[in-house]
Amino acid sequence: MKYETQKVALPFFMVAMALFALQIVFGLAAAAAYVWPHFMSEAMPFHITRTSHTNLLIVWLLIGFMGCTYYLMPEEAENEIYSPNLAYFQLALFAIAGAGALISYQFGIHEGRHYLEQPLWAKVVITVSFLMFLFNTSLTMLKGRRTAINMVLMLGLWLAAVFWLFAFYNPDNLALDKLWWWWIVHIWVEGVWELIMAALLGYLLIKMTGVDREVIEKWLYVIVGLALFSGLLGTGHHYYWIGTPAYWQPIGSIFSTLEVIPFFAMVVFAFYMFWKGSRNHPNKAAMLWTLGSAAVAFFGAGVWGFMHTLSWINYYTHGTQITAAHGHLAFYGAYVMLVLGVITYAMPQLRRVQPYNQVLNMWAFWIMTSAMWFMTFTLTFAGVVQTHLQRVLGMNFMQIQEQLELFYIMRFGTGIFVGIAALMFIYAVFAPAREQVPATSRPLTANE
């Protein structure tokens, strides 16, 4: 760690990991309701559990992105964070808004739109906190060195804030409501968050492979261009059945198919840099998460996304378990794994120790990733059966759910393994270092 204020990232990572654990607890509770339909139905109905699960995911990922930004910005900008105190204050505000929303849900207080259920006051506090974060990090950058990495990162974060503003606009007309709703839900994960992903990936690759910055930067610009070109009009794949004009069927199908390309470019980018690189970085676990993220994002977003994105296929699969299968693997690969990768990379330096507990960390990687894959397969099979029985044969929705029980049991089982792996990960990065530093390993240089 070269700059003192990089340590600002630490509390962000801690809060993010606590909420990650909580997200999985709610996921397990929701999955239990699929197996035992009356599970906690009085104490916490399914829609509340589900809302808590998805909200926690988004909130901890955003806190994770902030932590990553505070960590890398001083190195990239060659400048200390403008105001560490503002960062801590802004984290506290964000956490209060998140916790407040979570508690409100338990009392049935919410705004009803998926992912945007936060009560209005919480939305306002989230906005204020995020603007403070943008102010703090942008100023750090503007007063220091501007690189492709910190500029693409800040562009992604600023655009995320701009599109978030649509959360405040909720027309009464349901078709219009959905139309604007996707401007956040889709354009975040398939547009502006991709810029954040590409920048973080680029940062990790520069640090760990030793490949020239110029090479990484060229890739970065290509990926950003591809992501925005395909992702914006790709929103059309959510405009098939909500009452929008028919031209969205070809536009959505074509542009969302093109969305696969930036994800493909990112996986090629990551593996190519890894093979080309000269540096043998001691943090093997961080490299594993980095490559894993690019690969799983390609499958989860690219392959599982393409599977149901053409309008004449989506006609059958819309809103089935296929969607849930894709949602899980895409979010996990693109964003969860990447944030875990940055944490794995940064923590030893924040704690000023050599990479440690690496073996445990890599076990967490393999168990968590295998379990998420297995969950994706069970949901995909469930979705295929569901699509056929419901949309082809026209069977009744609840009758079909009985047919799917085995898949739901298996999904619950894989969830337990994800939970165990998450605890292993948290232990690996935060607990005392156990490993002896091998005599052969050299100290990290300031650049790594």
By the criterion CB under 5 A, which residues form the site for Fe ion? Answer: 186, 190
DSSP three-state, residue 439? coil
- Of 5, 17, 53, 298, the one binding ligand HEM (CB under 6 A) is 53
- Site for ligand HEM, residues 228 to 247, rule: CB under 6 A: 237-238
Judge whether 61 and 339 are in contact, CB under 8 Å. Answer: yes
Q: How far is the CB of 237 from Fe ion (least distance, A)?
A: 6
Window of 267-275, 301-309, 351-359, 388-396 that interacts with ligand HEM by CB under 6 A? 301-309
- Pick the closer one to Fe ion by CB: 117 or 190: 190
Task: For residue 338, state whether it binds ligand HEM (rule: CB under 6 A).
Answer: no
Q: How far is the CB of 347 from ligand HEM (least distance, A)?
A: 19
Cα distance between residue 274 and residue 211, in whole Å: 9
Radius of gyration of the chain (CA): 21
- Cβ nearer to Fe ion, comparing 241 with 363: 241
Grouping H, G, I as helix, E, B as strand and the rest as coil, residue 210 is: coil
Closest alpha carbon to 73 in 190, 188, 152: 152
Tokens, residue 14? 């801690």
Q: Which residue's Cβ has the minimum distance to Fe ion?
A: 186
Among 86-94, 277-285, 324-332, 398-406, the segment contacting ligand HEM (CB under 6 A): 324-332
Which region among 8-16, 35-43, 138-146, 319-327 touches ligand HEM (by CB under 6 A)?
319-327
Judged by beta carbon distances under 5 to 8 A according to partner kind, the member of ligand HEM, Fe ion, none in contact with residue 101 is none
The residue (of 110 and 328) whose beta carbon lies closer to ligand HEM is: 328
For residue 122, the one-letter residue type is A
CA distance 355 to 361: 10
In the complex, minimum distance from the CB of residue 179 to ligand HEM, in angstroms, rounded to a whole number: 14
Which residues between 398 and 437 bind ligand HEM (CB under 6 A)?
411-412, 415, 418
Task: Establish if 47 lies at the interface with ligand HEM (CB under 6 A).
Answer: no
- Alpha helices per DSSP H over 78-147: 84-106, 120-142
Sign of CA dihedral 251, 196, 54, 127: negative
Question: Is residue 190 a contact residue for ligand HEM (CB under 6 A)?
Answer: yes
Of 345, 337, 369, whose CA–CA distance to 428 is shortest?
Answer: 345
Residue 341 binds which entry of Fe ion, ligand HEM, none, CB below 5-8 Å type-dependent = none
As a whole number of angstroms, the distance between CA 117 and CA 105 comes to 8
Q: How far apart are CA 409 and CA 382, in angstroms?
A: 11
Quote helix, strand, coil % in the chain, to nearest 5: 80, 0, 20
Q: How far apart are CA 118 and CA 167, in angstroms?
A: 10
Is 323 a binding residue for ligand HEM by CB under 6 A? The answer is: yes
CB 232 within 8 A of CB 189: no
Residue 314 within binding range of ligand HEM, rule CB under 6 A: yes
By CB under 6 A, residue 386 contacts ligand HEM: no
Our finding on whether 30 is near ligand HEM (CB under 6 A) is: yes
Binding of ligand HEM by 227 (CB under 6 A): no
Give the DSSP letter string of 361-388: HHHHHHHHHHHHHHHHHHHHHHHHHHII
Q: Which residue number, 185 or 410, has a Cβ lying nearer to Fe ion?
A: 185
**Minimum CB distance to Fe ion smaller for 186 or for 308:** 186
Residues that bind ligand HEM (CB under 6 A): 24, 27-28, 30-31, 34, 50, 53-54, 57, 114, 189-190, 237-238, 256, 259-260, 297, 301-302, 305-306, 308-309, 314, 318-319, 323-324, 326-328, 330-332, 334, 336, 411-412, 415, 418
